[in-house]
Amino acid sequence: MTAVMDARGRVIGQAPQFKAVSLESRLVPRAGLTPYMRWRDGPLLITVTLLLLGLAARRPAFASTVGPRGRSE
């Protein structure tokens, strides 16, 4: 299905199914920035960094007092 929607999600133009037609509509440019245009990948990078730091903090430290056979040296 091919359709044109307005800013509120209403269908303002629709082409019939299984027909080769041309659908035309007038587009109105909008002003302002989307959140991605404003912040780019910043929130994603911060989230990934915090997750990696959290995973690194949960890793158990190697015990240096245990030998290769599990006995104390």
pLDDT of the chain along its 73 residues, tens only? Answer: 899 998 889 999 999 999 999 999 988 888 899 999 999 999 999 999 999 999 999 877 665 555 666 555 5
Give the pLDDT confidence score for residue 62 in this predicted structure. 63
Give the pLDDT confidence score for residue 61 in this predicted structure. 66
| Pairing mode of beta strands 3-5, 11-14 | antiparallel
Q: What is the pTM of this model?
A: 0.47
Distances, alpha carbon 19 to alpha carbons 24, 26, 33, in Å: 15, 22, 37
Give the pLDDT confidence score for residue 7 in this predicted structure. 84
